[in-house]
Amino acid sequence: MKLPSLTASLLSALIGTAALAEDTSEPIKVGILHSLSGTMAISETTLKDAMLMLIEQQNARGGVLGRKLEPVVVDPASDWPLFAEKARELIAGDQVAAVFGCWTSVSRKSVLPVFRELDSILFYPVQYEGEESERNVFYTGAAPNQQAIPAVEYLMDQGVERWVLAGTDYVYPRTTNKILEQFLKDKGVADEDILINYTPFGQSDWQTIVSDIKAFGSTGKKTAVVSTINGDANVPFYKELANQGITAEQIPVVAFSVGEEELAGIDTAPLVGHMAAWNYFQSVDDPANYEFIDAWHKFTGSDKRVTNDPMEAHYIGFNMWVKAVEKAGTTDPDKVIDAMVGIEVPNLTGGKAIMGKDHHITKPVMVGEINAEGQFDIVWESEGEVPGDAWSDYLPGSKDLIADWTDPIRCGNYNTTTKTCGGAETTASN
């Protein structure tokens, strides 16, 4: 028998309401895309554990929108093309609401087309080279103006005149070093006072390279190494520095990818005084940091497990995502992306992180010296938080570009001179 049209409409509405209620009873899936094996596992495994802790804590608070969160963990195994495959698996297969992951820029570049195509959200927690702003990505790590440039300025203030730019051979070190090379030249540093070197992922034999660094620093001018070496190659690099008797007084190293986690596998006694530049250190004196460290030790069951900068970046990004989802009233990516701009959450250093229109956050900048306990003594800190700058002022093709994902611009590479969207972006050629 045919139902009257009004009754049929009412029935349809009731069915839709029931389906919606059923959907909201299901957990919200959260993707975790970090290498648990291969050369980057030394750095990324801890980030997986940090995300599991943050999700557990949020569930204890009642979840998000009244729904529990369910982590979905995959292992892209330090294999850059596999990152894209695993990202697709998380988004299309597991239907996660957002993904927290990647470390190297080449892994991030690998997944970008997937996030664009499937319109999902990536929270990227590691310092990177800039020259990018994607609608579907939120960059909670440092841009070069929040790490690399301030670190080099600090070393200049300490009298450094000769510069070794040593990095792993892929997009982040190469682009960062292009920025730093131009910055140094703009400051009057001569070509002969800049030595640039790249090594493959997993480099184990550093004897010749460290010998070259030692020779380069023997001219009488104060020399420093600016290191963008990533992953487990850092362990033999620092061991070789010690083997050849290079101390921080002779040739200091400031690293952008070495934190507390990487130092856990090294005898730090010969490395005392070498430095790292980050936006967070475990040694930060702040109640929020102490609370985070205590929670981490309780979650891991070990007071030997350290915290580090990318963990804090995930802490910030995750809390921002929770706040944006609650503001939007949905996990729908388009609505969450728009809700994210302007979101403020506490960081772990006593300040606030604010999500900018370019999808980068405000961050303090710190330089720390390695101490004998494998921690960092903070020797310099910026005055307040520094907004991220997606496009460097030191690259000719970038200095006129800005990113603004709000109306009316809604563009990641807007040219302020031509008033058009579409400036060239860096691609992962390495």
10-residue stretch averages of pLDDT, the chain, 430 residues long: 40 38 77 97 96 98 98 98 98 98 96 98 97 98 97 98 97 96 97 97 96 96 96 90 93 94 81 95 97 98 95 98 98 98 98 98 97 94 96 93 97 96 49
How many CB atoms lie under 10 A from the CB of residue 367?
A: 24
Return the pLDDT at 23. Answer: 63
Which spans in 274-391 are helix H?
287-300, 309-328, 333-340
- Rounded distance between C-alpha atoms, residue 314 and residue 324, angstroms: 15
Residue 168: beta bridge partners? Answer: 199
Note the Cα 211 to chain centre separation in Å. 31
Return the pLDDT at 216. Answer: 97
- Rounded distance between C-alpha atoms, residue 263 and residue 267, angstroms: 8
- Rounded distance between C-alpha atoms, residue 288 and residue 296, angstroms: 12
Return the pLDDT at 14. Answer: 40
Residue 198: beta bridge partners? Answer: 167
- Rounded distance between C-alpha atoms, residue 414 and residue 426, angstroms: 15
Residue 20: beta bridge partners? Answer: none
What is the reported pTM?
0.89
One-character DSSP codes across 162-182: EEEEEEESSHHHHHHHHHHHH
Question: What are the Cα distances from residue 65, in Å, to 2, 33, 136, 148, 345?
Answer: 39, 24, 22, 39, 18
Question: What are the Cα distances from residue 167, in Å, to 1, 180, 233, 361?
Answer: 75, 12, 10, 25
Degrees, nearest 5: CA angle 101-127-284: 100
- Rounded distance between C-alpha atoms, residue 256 and residue 229, angstroms: 8
How many CB atoms lie under 10 A from the CB of residue 288?
A: 16
Return the pLDDT at 97. Answer: 98
The alpha-carbon radius of gyration of the chain (Å, integer) is 23
Cis peptide before 71 (omega within 30 of 0): no
Note the Cα 338 to chain centre separation in Å. 21
CB 221 within 8 A of CB 162: yes
